[in-house]
Structure 1
Amino acid sequence: MRYFTVISILVFSLCFFRVTNAQTNISVTVKDSLTEYPFICVKENILSDSLNTMALFYEKLKILKSDTDTVRKVVNILHLGDSHIQAGFLSGQMMSRFQSDFGNAGRGLIVPLKLIKSNEPRDYAIRSTASWFGCRCVDRKNYPCPGLGGMAVATRDTSFFFDIATLSKTDSCNAFCSVTVFHHPRTSPLSVVSQKKGVNYYPTRWPFASRIELDTLVCNLHLKGQSMFGDTSIYYAMSLENRNSGILYHSSGINGSCYSHYVEAGQVLNQTAALTPDLIILSLGTNEAFGKCDQKDIYDQIDRVVSMLRDIHPGAVFLLTTPPECHRRVRRKGKKKYYYTYVTNTKVEKVAETIRRYAVGKGLACWDLFSISGGRGSAKSWVKYQLSARDRIHFNIKGYELQGNLLYDAIIKGYNDYVGK
């Protein structure tokens, strides 16, 4: 009888362990469409992480996935980059898959890029009838000084309005009930116009951020701002949350940016303190391949950005990504006239090698998109399979979403290995 009882307990324990482990494990769904692209090195689509630095992030995902507590838990991801990230297609696919598997804690960071006539991701809108001027971290002028999001918008109007909304291709929107507004410390906080009741205003521990809390979930909000004594009002970005447990995926990219731009605009990095990221993804390098910097300069600039972020976020995990191969447009002399053609930008491979070398030397995780996307000569394949944009530097929606799926699968492969131990 005692023997039977012991065996029963062991069998029950083993079954319980398997069920529990299965609940926290997420199978990797490699998109069937990848079979259409033979140039992609799917087997190489893993993170290089010799010191297992991603384990800290994986543990937070595991707790988030398996937790049944009613206390809100949020895992924050910050993805900084250039135009590949500003468009929002790659990072949007990452956000969608993370939140589908681990829960949706909100839209996260939104940046008023259209107010300075730049492009925004398609899943939100920030509109205003005020007269705005601004500055990006890549601009030579330095007023207003760029902040979180890599830019700043400013107005001298004494009274002005913002309309913010989350957008969706479906009938449902990414609703929110908490808005953190990032602004110059001397700029007055915004107030809600569309609702009189169920609205609360709170300061934060950071002088450049204020918070608005609503009693109900909304898809759009009408905000009013006022300047004091005719001062210039300066805003950087907003963060939208829904008070649910899950993933907050903050992405921020600026067209034309390099590592050096983030170094020079130190306030951009300093203000990321308010986002408290658990994972920081750095996706830069394409613009370096069109500049005059040598590999040593690029290595040093990467180190300065990582060092600055490490000082601000000592507990964060870092993931560096390499840029994919691209083309550059060149002018050639024909028999009768000049013509333009495209050639491989060979400097991209050197930049990718520098990023890999830095990650290995500093013990950071790295996702080598250059190699995974096909390596040397692969830019022609991305054009052939209609994944590139017309300029052959950027990609179309399909191309960026493919890259987002690849990066997510690489991260989740590591997560599955971690929880399966």
Structure 2
Amino acid sequence: MRLARLAGLVAALMTTSTPAAAQDPMSALERPETLTRFFDALDAAGAGEGERPVHILQLGDSHTVGDMITASVRSRLQNSIGRGGRGVLPPGKPYALYQPRQVELFEQAWTAVTPGPGSAAMSGVGLSGSRALIWGEGSSLRIEAEGSAAFSRVVLCGATDPAAGTLTVRAGFSETAVSFADPTPGAACREVRLGEPVRSATVIGGTGAVDLHSVATFADGSGVVVSALGVIGATLNDLAVRDPAVVRAELDAWRPDLIVLAFGTNEGFDPFLDPFAYEALLRGQIAQLRTLAPRADILILGAPDAQRPEGGGTCGDEESLWRIPRELPLVRDVQRRVAADMGVAFWDWHARMGGDCSAHRLATAYEPLMRGDHVHFNSAGGDWIGQMLAEDLTAAWRARAVPAGAEE
């Protein structure tokens, strides 16, 4: 019966129509057999036996910041398996136009700062890429969630110090004090259990200073949560230099089942890219994540197709401005080779969107799916490509979870 239930769940996920540009779902996801722990967690959640939500944590650049592709994956998995909350967020609005799906953030005397990619300050932040220095009782961050993102736990991660202050989490009629004072400077995550699902919580500053790095909302029990943590313009190197104490504390607290690495576009636009150094960096980051999050599987999203308007006409007619950067295919090749060598999953984003020059076709279509910059997806395009990623993951899970001929 359990297999039959799982079959029904995954079949529901596969009922959405696949756009013409999509290929065979199984051909885009390479080495799905490396996602065993993630699929095991989906099995438990699908059968209603999960003790906590299945957590997908995506780390990346502006494609991730926009939360369009991740929102598409999130909605499809949550609608079929269950809702696990909204997941991890920056400690405030990292950008003026930041609009995460399912939640809204309201700040009062509260400012989150995101260092620019490549800056030395990037070494002072955690996986959200942002930090907020909070001082004073007049400061607050209110999280308002849609009904589909109701939560029963709030997790705050920040720096610890003997002189660190206290925050208060207010939800409904309850208030819980959270202290980051600790004799040993470092980082820690504090969890506040709310007792029942809520749609709103406010984090309030206290009398001391708190260096906050992330805020997360989770539901209890089975379900799926997809966290999208990106920095505009970021490269894998910006991830590598994050504060190791904060990163370790965050991964311990968040317990991701699948870590998605969605970097590569900005590296592919770097005319000075050293592919050998990039390969060493990628190998090092995979090894580091395996050490810090041993329970998590890893999926690399291969760099998508994109062009720059500098002439050369590799896309469009010979007079076209749009050219594929020479380094972009190199980045993709390194990602695929490293994934194969280190035994992690790889999703061929480039092939799924239609191959070379697909960004040009999608940006100039009658109903475009990409913006005019030939790099970023619009809202419809984000939902479109996210649907394919969700379908590819689900198809692989289905093939493993429901063997041919199994009916009960």
Give the TM-score range, shorter chain: 0.7 to 0.9
Tell me which moved more, 182-191 or 386-395.
182-191
Identity %: 21
Please list every run of 5 or more consecutive structure 1 residues that lacks an aligned counterpart in the other structure.
1-15, 333-338
Q: Distance in 2 between matches of 1:331 and 1:307?
A: 39
Q: CA shift at 1:257, angstroms?
A: 0.8
Q: Which residue of 2 aligns with 1:164?
A: 143
Q: CA shift at 1:157, angstroms?
A: 4.5
2:260 match: secondary structure: strand
Q: Distance in 2 between matches of 1:323 and 1:103?
A: 30
Which among 35, 40, 43 is matched to residue 62 of structure 1? 43
**Are 1:254 and 2:231 matched, yes or no?**
yes
Which among 261, 284, 288 is matched to residue 263 of structure 2? 284
**Are 1:34 and 2:16 matched, yes or no?**
no
Q: How many residues align?
A: 386
The structure whose Rg is larger is 1
1:256 match: secondary structure: coil
Q: CA shift at 1:365, angstroms?
A: 0.9
Is 1:24–1:66's contact at 8 Å kept on the other side of the alignment?
no
Q: Which residue of 1 aligns with 2:219?
A: 242
RMSD of equivalent CA atoms: 2.9
Q: Which residue of 1 aligns with 2:81?
A: 102
- The alpha-carbon distance between structure 1 residues 140 and 20, as it changes in their structure 2 partners (threshold 3 A), is closer
TM (norm. structure 2) is 0.85
Which among 160, 176, 183 is matched to residue 158 of structure 2? 183
Which among 182, 192, 195 is matched to residue 212 of structure 1? 192
- The alpha-carbon distance between structure 1 residues 199 and 72, as it changes in their structure 2 partners (threshold 3 A), is farther
2:55 match: secondary structure: strand
Please list every run of 5 or more consecutive structure 2 residues that lacks an aligned counterpart in the other structure.
313-318, 404-408
Is 2:307–2:375's contact at 8 Å kept on the other side of the alignment?
yes
Is 1:86–1:254's contact at 8 Å kept on the other side of the alignment?
yes
Q: CA shift at 1:77, angstroms?
A: 1.5
Which among 413, 416, 421 is matched to residue 395 of structure 2? 413
Q: Which residue of 2 aligns with 1:309?
A: 289
1:208 match: secondary structure: strand
1:128 match: secondary structure: strand
Tell me which moved more, 266-275 or 253-262.
266-275
Q: CA shift at 1:277, angstroms?
A: 1.1
Q: CA shift at 1:19, angstroms?
A: 4.1
Is 1:90–1:400's contact at 8 Å kept on the other side of the alignment?
yes
TM (norm. structure 1) is 0.82
Q: Which residue of 2 aligns with 1:329?
A: 309
Is 1:75–1:277's contact at 8 Å kept on the other side of the alignment?
yes
- The alpha-carbon distance between structure 1 residues 324 and 198, as it changes in their structure 2 partners (threshold 3 A), is same
Q: CA shift at 1:258, angstroms?
A: 0.8
Q: CA shift at 1:310, angstroms?
A: 0.7
Tell me which moved more, 321-330 or 243-252.
243-252
Q: Distance in 2 between matches of 1:363 and 1:142?
A: 33
Q: State the AA in 2 paired with 1:264.
A: V
Q: Which residue of 2 aligns with 1:263?
A: 240
Q: Which residue of 1 aligns with 2:57?
A: 78
Which among 328, 336, 346 is matched to residue 366 of structure 1? 346
**Are 1:53 and 2:34 matched, yes or no?**
yes
Tell me which moved more, 218-227 or 392-401.
218-227
Is 1:201–1:211's contact at 8 Å kept on the other side of the alignment?
no
Residues 133-189 of structure 1 show CA distances to partners (whole Å, capped at 9, x for unaligned) of 62336252428921231211224556422222124xxxx452223211122213434
**Are 1:379 and 2:359 matched, yes or no?**
yes
Q: State the AA in 2 paired with 1:344.
A: I
